[in-house]
Amino acid sequence: MAEGIVFLVGAGPGDPGLMTRRSLDLIASADAILYDRLIPPGALDGARSGADLRFVGKRPGQPAVAQDETNRLLVDLARAGKRVVRLKGGDPFVFGRGGEEAEALADADVRFEIVPGVTAGVAAPAYAGIPVTHRDAASAVAFVTGHEDPDKPESALDWEALARFPGTLVLYMGVRSLPLVTERLAAAGRDRAEAAAVVERGTQPGQRVVTGTLSDIAASAEAATVRPPAVTVIGAVAALRDTIAWFERRPLQGEVVAVTRARAQASGLADRLRDLGAEVVETPAIRIEPRPVDLPRLETYALVCLTSPNAVRLLFDALDGLELDARAFAGAAFAAIGPGTAAELRRHGIRPDVVPERSVAEALVEALKPVPVKGKRVLVARASEARDMLPDALGERGADVDVVPLYDTVAEPLGDEQLEALARATYVTFSSSSTVRFLLESGGRVPQTARVVSIGPITSAAARERGLTVDVEAERHDIDGLVEALTADAAARRVAPA
């Protein structure tokens, strides 16, 4: 039997992007994962399908799994030869009881490793635009925690010492204890006018920040009904937020955007939207299922027409399967609908000869008029379900057209979690007609309050046909164009809310 091992791993403060590479690698290879409540959404997505996932944290209003029970579980699993990840919010050794767990493992002679994480006391202020140290404002920082019971915050803390501490205080504490804690600090001599800030759900989409001074921060936090988790920063650095705040200033901050593309293609769009500050809900409604393809006498095609990036990708996969490459088409001209399709072709070493300005079949037919096709072989490689406009028009001009269906587009039923997330969306994006159809067919609903964004006129028509109101239509019919249009709409609404 393999020797068991336990990894005490920090999962960071909540933004999934702040998980370390090591934490993700370990999650992916673990036999068992024991996790807390404050781990980022999706943190366990990369776990193996057979992994034993156990929640050992504290749920509000429910008894926590006792610490020695967790310690015992870690030891038992490791002794059974398992590779165990103990996953905690933030850093495992910063108020995370990781020290106690490591002691228990050491006592039991179980092998273990510590994987530090990004701690909330640094990250939440950073996302609020507050550097915990600053050359002019703070040369020291103290991380402070107290008893969650507001009647006993004095148990572990030396208020006089904290009041004298020459630097920033970062409090990892329940907001309920804030009135008492700030009062104690002031009574012990800390400047009542010192800047202070409370950061609620730091680094997460719902992050909120309340600012003030030591004397009024507790009342302001209460007035704003700040809820855990929250950290409080006390120190001159808190005032730097006025200048440095960035999170809330991002163009799509506060927007919840549903991306309905097939998962394989969604990530580019999702990343772009996240970079702009949106919370992205991936409700992949469609999946691309490649079909087996037959490509006879490739070298005799005079013209190859491609109508989607997927078609390009799958055509070249098929070529690769035949141990061929772009040279198989050496004599052919290439036509592409859409800049994304053209870009994908270039990625495969082919510069398309014809790319119509508008990304619709009608425009391609028009653009192909000067290209002689009479009596020539033409390949139209595309989705199995597509309009026949293009092959029909080429056929009428005397071309010998082969339509090769490269893939089927199939509906993906949405799970409860996705449906709930979708219900919160402020924007729902559609990047093709099929995404409209499949979102609705897979049980998804566009919330009343959400704005519908479409990539172009065909997609808009499909949306309207299904009873949706299209609020925004991209001018350029590609992903960049869609993101641009959505961002412009959000900006306009911020200036003059509709």
- Binder to ligand SAH among 99, 150, 179, 228 (CB under 6 A)? 228
Question: Residue 468 to residues 18, 80, 244: CA-CA distances in angstroms?
Answer: 37, 56, 41
Of 16 and 228, the one with the shorter C-beta distance to ligand SAH is: 228
* Residue 57 touching ligand SAH (CB under 6 A): no
* Residue 229 touching ligand SAH (CB under 6 A): yes
Rounded distance between C-alpha atoms, residue 107 and residue 214, angstroms: 43
* Residue 476 touching ligand SAH (CB under 6 A): no
Cβ atoms of residues 18 and 89 within 8 Å: no
* Residue 205 touching ligand SAH (CB under 6 A): no
Q: Interface with ligand SAH by CB under 6 A: which range of 89-97, 298-306, 371-379, 454-462? A: 89-97
- Examine the residue annotation and report whether 19 is marked as an active-site residue of this protein: no
Phi, psi dihedrals of residue 429, rounded to the nearest 5°: -100, 140
Burial of 145 (0-12, 13-18, 19+ CB in 10 A): middle
The nearest distance, CB 116 to ligand SAH, in angstroms, is 9
* Residue 272 touching ligand SAH (CB under 6 A): no
Of 14 and 129, the one with the shorter C-beta distance to ligand SAH is: 14
Q: Interface with ligand SAH by CB under 6 A: which range of 150-158, 224-232, 303-311, 380-388? A: 224-232
The nearest distance, CB 355 to ligand SAH, in angstroms, is 46
- Binder to ligand SAH among 129, 131, 202, 309 (CB under 6 A)? 202
Count the residues of the shown chain that bind ligand SAH, applying the rule CB under 6 A.
24
* Residue 230 touching ligand SAH (CB under 6 A): yes
Rounded distance between C-alpha atoms, residue 391 and residue 87, angstroms: 56
Binding mask 170-189 for ligand SAH (x = CB under 6 A): --xx----------------
Closest CA to 433 of 401, 455, 413, 408: 455
Beta-carbon count within 10 A of 24 CB: 16
Q: Which long-range contacts (CB under 8 A, 24 or more apart) does 295-301 make?
A: 295/319, 295/322, 295/404, 297/377, 298/324, 298/328, 298/329, 299/328, 299/329, 299/330, 299/331, 300/377, 301/329, 301/331, 301/332, 301/377, 301/378, 301/379, 301/402
Task: Choose, from 19, 82, 173, 376, the residue flagged as catalytic.
Answer: 173
Element (H, E) at 172: strand 168-172
The nearest distance, CB 131 to ligand SAH, in angstroms, is 16
The nearest distance, CB 261 to ligand SAH, in angstroms, is 29
**Residue with tokens 């209460």, as numbered in its chain:** 222
- Examine the residue annotation and report whether 369 is marked as an active-site residue of this protein: no
* Residue 231 touching ligand SAH (CB under 6 A): yes
- Examine the residue annotation and report whether 107 is marked as an active-site residue of this protein: no
Rounded distance between C-alpha atoms, residue 307 and residue 341, angstroms: 7
Which residues are within 8 A (CB) of 388 and not within 5 positions of it... i.e. 6 or more apart? 403
Of 38 and 110, the one with the shorter C-beta distance to ligand SAH is: 38
**Interface positions with ligand SAH (CB under 6 A):** 13-14, 38, 88-91, 94-96, 119-120, 124, 172-173, 199, 201-204, 228-231
- Supply the residues annotated as catalytic: 36, 58, 173
